[in-house]
Amino acid sequence: MNHSLPTIWLKPAQFAAFTATGTTAHRIATNPDGWIERLGDDALVCFKNDATRDTLVNTLTPWITTAGWQPRRIFAKFLPRQNQDRIAPVLLSGDSTPSLTTTITEAGASYALDFAAGYSHGLFLDQRSNRTFLSRVSPKHVLNTFSYTCAFSVAAALAGAQTLSVDLSKKSLERGRENFALNQIDTSAHHRFIADDVLDVLPRLIHRGEKFDAIILDPPTFSRGNQGRRWQIEQHLEDLLSTAMELATPKAHILLSTNCTSLTIRDLETMARYCCKLHRRPVNFHRESQQTDFPPGHGATTLWLV
């Protein structure tokens, strides 16, 4: 572990503030080699090496006493260097008999998580403030690309939007539908789900003349799409943004987001300026302030074009 940088813990008052606002999924602790998430009644320790896991688990106990919150179960997840080494979390302590699923709440929305679903449980905590911003904007038609379990779509739908969620993974979209159902949102009329490659879907939407007043672009760093087509964010994000702009209404809100550490906020701004010029759009940016549970430098790099 990098001993020069300490673990930053959520203060009891911050924990109480999350609880008071009905948000039950947030970070508890962060250090350079791992972090701990509160996920409803459970805790998840994410670690790059065994020493970090042990340190985080041991120091969680005094934090629990101070915060006055006892996790029902503690899971642990290894953070490998390579995507192919990713595995689902394992149960470290607590009762192994209940289901490995749980439900969390955030800003009046509920999301289902599944510790057995694979490496990711179903909700990216660092996008919480962007989900809230999207709800606040109250868009009418939202295009959520790389939608995963449709968390952005659910947040927008609860604020009255019609949504289109696109993801390669049928399973993730199925979980997305379950998230809509969990929030009593009827998906029969105003919410669409397309299980396909975003790069193939966008031209079809352009061809049909569809327009959206909010577009979410939060792609993975690397993936393989239809016909094994390689997606590499550093090479392809600018083209994706440019294509998405053809689907945007003049005053649309577009979220550009990445976890790729080689792309900085300046890179996103440069891409956005270039695409705005190309599409004759005014250059207006918005950035949500750093979430209180994520120390500076942690979490996705995100930029709204507004």
Ligand X SMILES: C[S@@+](CC[C@H](N)C(=O)[O-])C[C@H]1O[C@@H](n2cnc3c(N)ncnc32)[C@H](O)[C@@H]1O
Judged by the rule CB under 6 A, the positions of this chain that interact with ligand X are 124, 127, 146, 148-149, 151-152, 166-169, 172, 197-199, 218, 220, 223, 225, 231
Of 54 and 200, CB closest to ligand X? 200
Of 78 and 148, CB closest to ligand X? 148
Of 74 and 216, CB closest to ligand X? 216
The DSSP result for the chain, as a single string, is: --TTSPPEEPPHHHHHHHHHTT--EEEEEEETTEEEEEETTEEEEEESSHHHHHHHHHHHHHHHHHHT---SEEEEEE--SSGGG----EEEEE-SSS-SEEEEEETTEEEEEETTSSS--S--GGGHHHHHHHHHH--SEEEEET-TTTHHHHHHHHTT-EEEEEES-HHHHHHHHHHHHHTT---SSSEEEEES-HHHHHHHHHHTT--EEEEEE---SEEE-GGG-EEEHHHHHHHHHHHHHTTEEEEEEEEEEE--TT--HHHHHHHHHHHHHHTT----EE-PPPPTTS-TT-S-EEEEE-
Of 7 and 302, CB closest to ligand X? 302
Of 71 and 122, CB closest to ligand X? 122
Please state the closest distance from residue 232 (CB atom) to ligand X, in A: 11
Please state the closest distance from residue 106 (CB atom) to ligand X, in A: 12
Of 32 and 220, CB closest to ligand X? 220
Please state the closest distance from residue 10 (CB atom) to ligand X, in A: 21
Of 31 and 130, CB closest to ligand X? 130
Please state the closest distance from residue 141 (CB atom) to ligand X, in A: 18
Please state the closest distance from residue 193 (CB atom) to ligand X, in A: 12
Please state the closest distance from residue 202 (CB atom) to ligand X, in A: 10
Please state the closest distance from residue 35 (CB atom) to ligand X, in A: 17
Taking each helix axis as running N to C, give the angle between helix 12-20 and helix 50-67, from 0 to 180 degrees, rounded to the nearest 10.
70
